């Protein structure tokens, strides 16, 4: 055990651990702080990223040091719903680059991001190339996006909506991670006209506010409440997949 969670670790123990085992992975969860419909909290994605990362850390206690999450990120597609906080894409890339390069400078050769927000994917892809192909670091950045696991999501939930936000699968994950965080009164307020959208332009061309009254994007009819068991299955299967890839860096 090299340290339970990054923020309880002292620098001297980290230095010693990295000297002994430089292939240790610095694990960085990234989420968001954005509207999630009438029924889920702003920090939903951050909670999902954090839970995935803590479960990976529990599975690989000798190989992983977990750092606190990045919460404010690329959420401008949800602007207009009060409380959503975002930073511009270029600011996020630069900010995350500094975080990752701090970890390289500390001695990590591998940094793994677990990202649970779809809006961060493109920015993280740019960041990954910037960092890994700059020629300035021996370290490598690996990115695990929740969106990469669409096949698993489709398998677990038996459906595969093209776009989804704060819908069935996300509500199910929160029912597992933090059932008291799901507002069932908010769920009861959900009418089909509050979430059903056929827009293909949402997120990249039009903000969610223009296509969904509640902020939810889902194509289920009627709106399906979360299923705790399925949420647990999905989270567990994603953790298994990430652990396998981290154990075998040639496939990371």
- Interacting residues toward Zn ion by CB under 5 A: 44-45
Ordered strands of the 110-115 beta sheet:
64-66, 25-30, 110-115, 140-145
Q: Tokens representing 2?
A: 């090299």
Is the Cβ of residue 100 or residue 166 nearer to Zn ion in the bound state?
Answer: 166
Query: Smallest distance from the beta carbon of 44 to Zn ion, in angstroms?
Result: 5
Is the Cβ of residue 24 or residue 182 nearer to Zn ion in the bound state?
Answer: 182
Query: Smallest distance from the beta carbon of 86 to Zn ion, in angstroms?
Result: 13
Query: Smallest distance from the beta carbon of 175 to Zn ion, in angstroms?
Result: 14
Query: Smallest distance from the beta carbon of 106 to Zn ion, in angstroms?
Result: 30
Position of minimal CB gap to Zn ion: 45
Whole-angstrom Cα distance, residue 170 to residue 227? Answer: 10
Query: Smallest distance from the beta carbon of 36 to Zn ion, in angstroms?
Result: 6
Is the Cβ of residue 44 or residue 54 nearer to Zn ion in the bound state?
Answer: 44
DSSP string, the chain: ---SSGGG--HHHHHHHHHH-TTPEEEEEE--B--BTBTB-TTHHHHHHHHHHHHHHHH-TTTEEE-PPB-SBS-GGGTTSTT-BB--HHHHHHHHHHHHHHHHHHT-SEEEEEE--GGGHHHHHHHHHHHHTSSS-S-EEEEEEGGGGHHHHHHHHS---SS-BSSHHHHHHHHHH-GGGS-HHHHHT--HHHHB---S-BTTTB-HHHH-SSS-BB--SSPPPP-HHHHHHHHHHHHHHHHHHHHSGGG-
Is the Cβ of residue 72 or residue 97 nearer to Zn ion in the bound state?
Answer: 72
Query: Smallest distance from the beta carbon of 39 to Zn ion, in angstroms?
Result: 12
Is the Cβ of residue 47 or residue 55 nearer to Zn ion in the bound state?
Answer: 47
Is the Cβ of residue 45 or residue 77 nearer to Zn ion in the bound state?
Answer: 45
């Amino acid at each position: 055990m090299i340290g339970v969670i990054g923020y309880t670790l002292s620098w001297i123990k980290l230095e010693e651990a990295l000297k002994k085992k430089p292939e240790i992975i610095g694990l960085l969860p990234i989420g968001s702080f954005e509207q999630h419909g009438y029924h889920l909290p702003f920090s939903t994605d951050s909670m999902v990223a954090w839970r995935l990362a803590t479960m990976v850390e529990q599975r690989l206690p000798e190989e992983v040091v977990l750092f606190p999450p990045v919460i404010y990120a690329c959420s401008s597609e949800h602007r207009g719903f009060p409380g959503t906080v975002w930073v511009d894409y270029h600011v996020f890339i630069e900010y995350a680059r500094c975080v990752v390069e701090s970890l390289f400078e500390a001695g990590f050769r591998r940094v793994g991001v677990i990202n649970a927000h779809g809006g961060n994917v493109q920015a993280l892809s740019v960041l990954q190339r910037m960092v890994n192909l700059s020629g300035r670091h021996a370290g490598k950045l690996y990115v695990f996006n929740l969106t990469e696991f669409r096949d698993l999501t489709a398998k677990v939930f038996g459906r595969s909506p093209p776009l989804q936000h704060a819908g069935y699968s996300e509500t199910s994950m929160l029912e597992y991670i933090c059932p008291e965080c799901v507002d069932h009164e908010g769920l009861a307020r959900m009418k089909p006209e509050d979430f059903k959208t056929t827009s293909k332009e949402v997120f990249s061309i039009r903000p969610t506010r223009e296509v969904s009254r509640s902020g939810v994007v889902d194509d289920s009819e009627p709106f399906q409440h979360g299923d705790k068991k399925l949420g647990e299955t999905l989270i567990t299967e994603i953790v298994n997949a990430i652990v396998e890839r981290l154990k075998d860096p040639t496939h990371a």
